[in-house]
Structures are given as structure tokens and as C-alpha cells.
Amino acid sequence: MAAPESGDGNNGAARMVTLISSDNTRFEVEAAAASLSQTLQLTILDGGGGGGDGIPLPNVDSATLSKVLEYCIKHAPAAANGGAPNATAVDRAELERFDNEFVNIDQSVLYSLIMAAHNLEIEGLQSLVAKKVADMIKGKSPMEIRRTLGFPDPTPEEQAEMNAHMLEYGWAYE
């Protein structure tokens, strides 16, 4: 198993840590991958999460955590190379393809990922999911945004506010 250098000073076989989701599912993952989370990084550097202990994550359910870890495992080698200065164009294209495919998901899953990425402070994932939602919003009218994101129909009051807003800021709607 050719594990990438974890970057935390360990050599030889990659160190593994155990993460425990809110519904008590245990995930064993390379420390290097879990360390993409700023929240987890310190605990892992302190030697936590090894052996039978495991790090409990009461805010993340197993479905979301497995998705998050899929991202971390994919991105860990590039992150360990310090942002992959020597990554080939093929590697980068592959990561990009992965990212695009990764966020091609249901809005409720997207919601869980946004929350988890913020909770765990995984910078790359935070940007990826935020960018995805931003792309869903970009260029749309307020009403189209509401429909796209599945907001309930506006109340008459909200509708009136939207109309007033459009009159006031006409240039932004051009």
C-alpha cells in the first residue's frame, strides 16, 4: 500500500485514525486525509483518534461523513504535496472532474455537506460546496433563485418587497 506521506512527521505505514459519526458508525481513515479538517487536525497531531479511541463527531451523520471522507481521501495526496506544485495537468484535471461529479447531488445532501464542511473546517470542501450553490444562484432573478433552491412561494408581502427592490435597483437586473 503506497500511502502518501501524511505530513505530520510519521514515516513508514500511514497512520490511521477512527472517526465516529453521530449515529455511531466508525470510519477508519488515514490521518493525512482526516487532517484536511482544521478541526480534526489538532486532535490528530496530539495523537488522538488512534487505537480503539476514535474521535466522535456528534454533528455529522454517517451518510454525510462518508461523503466528506470521500472528498478528503481524494484530495489528501495533493494537499500533502503542499498544494501540489508538481502535480501534472492530468492530475489537476482529474481532481476537477472529481469535484464536479462530487457536488452533482441532491440539495439536501448539499445542505449537509455545507454544514459538515463548516463544522469540520475543511477549506477546500467549503469553497467547493459554496461555489456550487453560488453557481445555482448566479444570473437568476430573486424569484428564480427561490424556485431553484426550493424556497416556499413568497407571501404577498415578500412579493411586494421583491417588486420594490427591482424598481429601486433596476441596473442590477439588466
Q: Which residues bind other proteins (CB under 8 A)?
A: 107-108, 110-112, 114-115, 118-119, 126, 130-131, 133-134, 137-142, 145-146, 149-152, 154, 158, 161-162, 165-166, 168-169, 171-174
The whole-angstrom separation of Cα 126 and Cα 37 is 10
The whole-angstrom separation of Cα 155 and Cα 158 is 5
Least Å distance, CB 174 to other proteins, is 8
Cβ proximity to other proteins: between 43 and 111 the closer is 111
Cβ proximity to other proteins: between 6 and 64 the closer is 64
Cβ proximity to other proteins: between 53 and 161 the closer is 161
Cβ proximity to other proteins: between 26 and 131 the closer is 131
Least Å distance, CB 159 to other proteins, is 10
Nearest to 100 by CA among 135, 69, 73, 66: 135
From the CB of residue 15, how many other CB atoms can be counted at a distance below 10 Å?
A: 20
Least Å distance, CB 119 to other proteins, is 7
Cβ proximity to other proteins: between 93 and 160 the closer is 160
Least Å distance, CB 20 to other proteins, is 20
Least Å distance, CB 130 to other proteins, is 4
Contact 153, 143 (CB under 8 A): no
Q: At what angle do helices 123-137 and 62-80 cross, to 10 degrees?
A: 110
